[in-house]
């Protein structure tokens, strides 16, 4: 897979990992530690605003909105709309959305859960299980009502400064006139053909001329431009009560789906209070279930019981304890995380420091755990999501994540509307009587999670790292890189990551044989050998499986923003 602008050499990566322990991170400092020359690019700075996302043209659209007087939320909507066009391999108006917004006026964090619910007319007994007992992934059985557009409306109604039509204008223009496809996205698009080419509407919409667009080739989507124009003129009701909803239901009936107009008219997003934990002087924020955000907080609570800085990133102990802590946190994720409207989720208890201390005692420093007590199929190891963040001159900061779940979602596409339908419902458990068991009108367990960090009640960082079950693992690794190892904002995302797969899952799959540990290239062979000796099953993995990071840091003394972006993606951070 081609990657953009990766200039960090292998020798430099190894030097980072085996170098002496860096100076202790100063929690009172306004910015992360100064760079030590190991980042793939410089941190980006801006005084009046900052944007960061996985596609440069989308980032430019967000920046122009800021320059024209828009808020950080206006910029985020503009970027998300562009990404739905430019990165359909990850997101779009057929998917769900979550966001965290720092409002400088009230000095509060606001969380938005904009995920959809299962069809009211579909019962569990009507769903034919896949061979692994789960809901068939690339099928209408996995559909849930897309929440993205309602999420835009909620965010815009509360924090927008420009008309919604202005926010959507760049995406509409790009969809009409076309844009050159960027390298990583082109590669992901091409790999999707085998999986999706025979799904209704996919080839018509995403394989013009019988193939996917190549890197640098112009792609147009006039049907999506028409959909966005309707939303710009009529707002969210065009999608949930008007002509878009009617076309959605018509298509659903045509291809064997279960959507009705009632599913769309009843849909609504939910404003929620973010939840947090303190980590070595900082407060890290996530959204509560049905998302998996609290797994990142549980993971941080667990590793806080160990001297990670003393171990050093070049040691087997560091990678071992982080991996084992992930297994412990994901065991709780499998047992408890679900739609709180249908199940009691003990969030406060799960985030208790005392609970973390007790759970940390389960970690054996000499051996890798092979099983866990409760009940990650491959379906959860998905890199196909987009994350973006924005900040404006007023101090407003936005953390937003949006996804179709599995790349182009279910692969079922509506050519007349210009987008495909998500398959997030695959994450329900078909077994009855569990917190995440399937039910009509229920929100499934969700993987996409935005994050935020503050200190002493003031905003510090808006950040995220997309990629299925990689997300809580990645969030915790970024925080540890910043706080324990004193990396700067870009280094914290560039440093090599681990991705453990095979933990127990909310879909009912139970961990067997310890799962698999994937670590990016750069660790010395003796360290890898020691991890294998402790019982870790080491496997290689494509670079895209390690997630996609974006972050914006605010200097509390000057108000200056620092931005960083993912070396494994096409994107960029831009400030002004």
Just list the catalytic residues.
Answer: 385
Distance CA 534, CA 385 (A): 33
Whether 176 and 461 have beta carbons less than 8 Å apart is answered as no
Distance CA 104, CA 110 (A): 11
CA 158 to chain centre: 23
Distance CA 62, CA 78 (A): 6
**Residue whose token pair is 């973010």:** 274
**Residue whose token pair is 């692994």:** 132
At 72, list the tokens.
């950080």
Please give the full DSSP string across 480-497, using - where no structure is assigned.
Answer: HHHHTT---HHHHHHS--
Which residues contact residue 149 at a Cβ distance below 8 angstroms, ignoring those fewer than 6 apart?
93, 231, 236, 239, 240
Helix (H) or strand (E) holding 311: helix 308-311
Residue 125's Cβ-side half-sphere holds a number of Cα atoms within 13 Å equal to 0
**Distance of CA 64 to CAs 81, 167, 180, 213, Å?**
14, 10, 19, 27
Closest residue by Cα to residue 573 from 36, 50, 82, 3: 50
Closest residue by Cα to residue 100 from 89, 86, 114, 121: 114
Residue 319's Cβ-side half-sphere holds a number of Cα atoms within 13 Å equal to 29
Which residues contact residue 425 at a Cβ distance below 8 angstroms, ignoring those fewer than 6 apart?
118, 135, 141, 142, 143, 144, 438, 444
């Amino acid at each position: 897979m081609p990657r953009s602008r990766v200039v960090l050499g292998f020798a430099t990566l190894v030097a980072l990992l085996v170098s002496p322990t860096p100076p202790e991170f100063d929690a009172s400092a306004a910015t992360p530690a100064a760079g030590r020359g190991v980042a793939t690019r410089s941190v980006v700075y801006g005084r009046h605003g900052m944007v960061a996302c996985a596609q440069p043209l989308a980032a430019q659209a967000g920046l122009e909105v800021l320059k024209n007087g828009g808020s950080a939320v206006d910029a985020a909507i503009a970027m998300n709309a562009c990404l739905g066009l430019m990165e359909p391999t990850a997101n779009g108006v057929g998917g769900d959305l979550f966001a965290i917004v720092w409002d400088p006026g009230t000095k509060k964090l606001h969380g938005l859960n904009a995920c959809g619910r299962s069809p009211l007319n579909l019962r569990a007994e009507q769903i034919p299980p896949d061979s692994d007992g789960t809901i068939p992934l690339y099928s209408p059985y996995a559909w849930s009502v897309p929440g993205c557009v309602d999420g835009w409306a909620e965010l815009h109604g509360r924090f927008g400064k420009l008309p919604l039509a202005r926010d959507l204008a760049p995406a509409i223009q790009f969809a009409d006139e076309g844009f050159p496809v960027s390298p990583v996205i082109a590669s992901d698009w091409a790999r999707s053909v085998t999986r999706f080419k025979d799904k209704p509407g996919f080839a018509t919409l995403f394989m013009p001329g019988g193939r996917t667009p190549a890197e640098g080739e112009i792609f147009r989507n006039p049907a999506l431009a028409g959909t966005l124009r309707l939303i710009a003129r009529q707002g969210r009701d065009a999608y949930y009560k008007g002509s878009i909803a009617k076309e959605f239901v018509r298509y659903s009936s045509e291809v064997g789906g279960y959507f009705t107009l009632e599913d769309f008219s009843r849909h609504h997003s939910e404003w929620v209070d973010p939840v947090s934990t303190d980590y070595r002087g900082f407060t890290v924020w996530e959204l509560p279930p049905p998302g998996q955000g609290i797994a990142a907080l549980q993971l941080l609570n667990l590793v806080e019981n160990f001297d990670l800085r003393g171990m050093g990133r070049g040691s087997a102990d560091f990678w071992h304890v982080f991996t084992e802590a992930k297994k412990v946190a994901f065991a709780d994720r499998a047992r408890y995380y679900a739609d709180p409207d249908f199940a009691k989720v003990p969030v406060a208890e799960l985030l208790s420091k005392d609970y973390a201390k007790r759970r940390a005692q389960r970690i054996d420093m000499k051996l890798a755990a092979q099983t866990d007590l409760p009940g990650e199929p491959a379906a959860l190891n998905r890199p196909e999501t987009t994350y973006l963040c924005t900040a404006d001159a007023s101090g407003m900061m936005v953390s937003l994540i949006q996804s179709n779940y599995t790349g182009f979602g279910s692969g079922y596409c509506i050519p007349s509307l210009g987008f495909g339908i998500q398959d997030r419902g695959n994450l329900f458990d078909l077994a009855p009587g569990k917190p995440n068991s399937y039910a009509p009108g229920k929100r499934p367990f969700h993987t996409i999670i935005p994050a935020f960090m503050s200190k002493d009640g003031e905003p510090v960082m808006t950040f995220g790292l997309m990629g299925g079950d990689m997300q809580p693992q990645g969030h915790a690794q970024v925080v540890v890189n910043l706080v324990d190892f004193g990396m700067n904002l870009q280094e914290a995302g560039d440093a090599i990551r681990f991705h453990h797969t095979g933990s127990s899952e909310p879909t009912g799959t139970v961990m067997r044989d310890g799962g698999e540990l994937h670590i990016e290239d750069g660790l010395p062979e003796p360290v890898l050998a020691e991890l294998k000796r402790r019982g870790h099953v080491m496997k290689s993995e494509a670079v895209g499986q390690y997630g996609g990071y974006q972050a914006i840091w605010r200097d509390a003394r000057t108000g200056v923003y620092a931005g960083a972006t993912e070396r494994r993606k096409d994107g960029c951070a831009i400030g002004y």
